[in-house]
Amino acid sequence: LQVTLMSIKVGEDVGLERHDDTDQFLRVEKGRGLVQMGHNSNELNVEHRVESDSAIMVPAGMWHNITNIGKTPLKLYSIYAPPEHPFGTIHRTKEDDIHS
């Protein structure tokens, strides 16, 4: 298993992504967000508003994104397996993650 912790600034998003062979569990610890999912990256036809203590299951192969729609940073974590990042990886910003 791997756990990733995220802090998303107001108005920003996690970034559209898909994990082909991995289900993903997301839990919102603090804040408000908009979850979008779909089978096609151009057709995210599933939308749910989430807030503190919300949990989201993202099936393998599903395109997904989370946008912070609140007034404070969105704090969340994800759990998935197998790990996608080397042990001890820290990305201080979204750009660090994108360029790694």
pLDDT tens, residue by residue, 14-52 = 999 999 999 999 999 999 999 999 999 999 999 999 999
Q: In what order do the strands lie in the sheet with 55-58?
A: 2-8, 74-80, 24-30, 55-58
Residue 75 sits at the vertex; the CA angle it makes with 37 and 81, to the nearest 5 degrees, is 60
pTM assigned to the model: 0.81
As a whole number of angstroms, the distance between CA 88 and CA 33 comes to 27
State yes or no: pLDDT of 94 exceeds 90: no
